[in-house]
Structure 1
């Protein structure tokens, strides 16, 4: 049965689903939460919880990346953010937190982020995280990767993240400008690469064929993103994850058994949406606004991404967030509020236990229903 609907005589559209339109269905079995595992692994690296901290200056500093690593997750540092442009960015973060006027904040952010990225600071930040004994992950955007990847790899990063709104394996560039050849680049690297975003079956399959260890799913769906409003581009996350999970299954057969992890990135504002992301096929989630609410978050009550200070076309904005609890409480509780923004892992454990599944991989087989929005 076709899932397309007619928009008009000249256009048909595929029916897709957001997290608000689906629900997880309990099975005939339940189990104690103590018997549930939330661990997962990526290449040779083991993690107790399926949570990555988004590489955004409002979310991850070297200190919060270390804290998240000690709590069992993976902090990803933005290697073209304030921490690699300034030896001490804290005064600038404090200044940005004091600006309520949005236009004034945009102008000041553009000025602050005009400072060049410094290779020695990339090395220092990676060394600082490594010295804490946690897995080290750093992120660059596709257009900065060729310039800085040698410094990043030499500094000793464990996992390399190439993250943009949309990352493709087939980028067409203007004459004289050489695009990043992902397949050649990933093949020549000695570290596992996480790449994205992708939101369709075909784009994800192409990224998997480059040799990526994991694919980030989603674009334009985060709390600070305005891609849908500015560009008209969007893909509801439930469908996007399910499509990319389908590509993972087909690539597993095509490659003779190579498993590429699927990481949901964006549009995850509650623990219930984290649960639904994994139910749709994600192996882990990358969180931004939820972790920006932590008392330790460097944004100081504000949350933004790189799109919020673009030179010409803003595709994101700085949004206010309430810093409600320490990072440990947001992840592991006990929660003091019932809105799905605290004790994320406790909620995930309870969801697995309530539906009778013992681990994340099993939970990807849980039943899902379409609910009225």
Structure 2
């Protein structure tokens, strides 16, 4: 059942909720947090945490992807980023970190954006795609790399030949049917069918687009709209999908596609707007199987951004829709994920908080926790 609100005499709209608008309700049973499982599996690949590192240059380098993999998560390398444009991107990263911030204290700085556009204008080198993925593979962790839909046709053969385990196609908004009068669009269904590796694709922010993506054969669907700490899509394009409603809608598409396909389960991965452990907890409660983290992992000591955070939208050559934001650092990645924590704001011991919330509400694994009771509770205080 859905409820439309009359905005004015000529327009009605559905009421949607952000993660801040919902809260989890304890049940009659509690558990010991040590008895709770946060294991997650997609296709043949098993992980001891439902954490996916976002393919952003401020978050994932080959080294940090390896570190996350050894801690039980999945690091996804941005195959259109600095690591595939420069033989040694460390001086470039250092320059981005050192760029002067806006004078008024705001994130927005035309000078920073202009320099990002210049640095990211260097061509992508296919041989670097191969060597970066090989570096991750040699470490013995699951190998995942991401391309945008616009670059997938150009580079996917290099990616697959390099031995990627999981292929990610990630954009601000990805549809199963892209219409263009000037270029030949990517046929997702044919593309995924012809690949021998599982594909995660998104973002999607509603029931219908997610169902269409699931029908392409994707192993997982990213739920999001290009938001998060660095995104300005809402201000620039007027597009926004509150995450609690978006995750719930895509989870409903997963349920219906399970019936439609005769038992094929597509994983729902929340992507964007989850900077604290409480956000992660509520994303799973709304139906996510795993979460893709940017800001939360950008705070780790190992993150290439050294406390600064930016995404692909920040350096778009014609329409940048993101800023370089300072998120700070809270400690080593192991502490960010597992503690011990000295932070009370939900920025470290993310998995410990998820375990404790599941235990407090009496659930033993992630699939069970998706059934937890929630209430609508508009955000009023820190």
Give the shorter-chain TM-score range.
Answer: over 0.9
The answer as to 2:217 corresponding to 1:216 is: no
Which residue of structure 2 lines up, in the alignment, with residue 156 of structure 1?
A: 163
Structure 2 SS opposite 1:160: strand
Q: Distance in 2 between matches of 1:208 and 1:97?
A: 38
Q: Distance in 1 between matches of 2:160 and 2:128?
A: 14
Query: How far has the Cα of 1:312 moved from its partner?
Result: 1.4
Query: How far has the Cα of 1:323 moved from its partner?
Result: 1.2
Counterpart among 278, 287, 293 of residue 272 in structure 1: 278
Structure 1 SS opposite 2:88: coil
Query: How far has the Cα of 1:2 moved from its partner?
Result: 4.9
Contact kept in structure 1, 2:203 and 2:226, CA below 8 Å: no
Structure 1 SS opposite 2:262: coil
Q: Distance in 2 between matches of 1:229 and 1:216?
A: 22
Contact kept in structure 2, 1:79 and 1:139, CA below 8 Å: yes
Q: Distance in 1 between matches of 2:378 and 2:334?
A: 34
The answer as to 2:180 corresponding to 1:193 is: no
Which residue of structure 2 lines up, in the alignment, with residue 295 of structure 1?
A: 301
- 1:1-373 aligned at under 5 Å gives the runs 2-101=2-101, 102-175=109-182, 177-373=183-379
Contact kept in structure 1, 2:306 and 2:328, CA below 8 Å: no
Structure 2 SS opposite 1:366: coil
Query: How far has the Cα of 1:341 moved from its partner?
Result: 0.5
Q: Distance in 1 between matches of 2:114 and 2:237?
A: 21
User: Normalising to structure 2: TM-score of the pair?
Assistant: 0.96
Q: Distance in 1 between matches of 2:318 and 2:147?
A: 20
Contact kept in structure 1, 2:145 and 2:166, CA below 8 Å: yes
Q: Distance in 2 between matches of 1:10 and 1:104?
A: 42
Q: Distance in 1 between matches of 2:318 and 2:142?
A: 36
Structure 2 SS opposite 1:68: helix
Consecutive unaligned residues in structure 2, runs of 5 or more: 102-108
Q: Name whichever of 338-347 and 317-326 sits farther off.
A: 317-326
Q: Distance in 2 between matches of 1:270 and 1:112?
A: 30
Q: Report Cα offsets for 1:188-232 as digits up to 9, x if no partner.
A: 000000000000000000000000000000113211000000000
Which residue of structure 1 lines up, in the alignment, with residue 104 of structure 2?
A: none
Q: Report Cα offsets for 1:56-110 as digits up to 9, x if no partner.
A: 0000000000000000000000001000011100001001111124322212111
Structure 2 SS opposite 1:216: strand
Consecutive unaligned residues in structure 1, runs of 5 or more: none
Q: Distance in 1 between matches of 2:308 and 2:181?
A: 36
Q: Report Cα offsets for 1:125-170 as digits up to 9, x if no partner.
A: 0000000000000000000000000000000000000000000001
Contact kept in structure 1, 2:59 and 2:303, CA below 8 Å: yes
* RMSD of aligned residue pairs (Cα, Å): 0.8
Q: Distance in 2 between matches of 1:266 and 1:131?
A: 30
Contact kept in structure 2, 1:93 and 1:300, CA below 8 Å: no
Size of the aligned set, in residue pairs, is 372
User: Normalising to structure 1: TM-score of the pair?
Assistant: 0.99
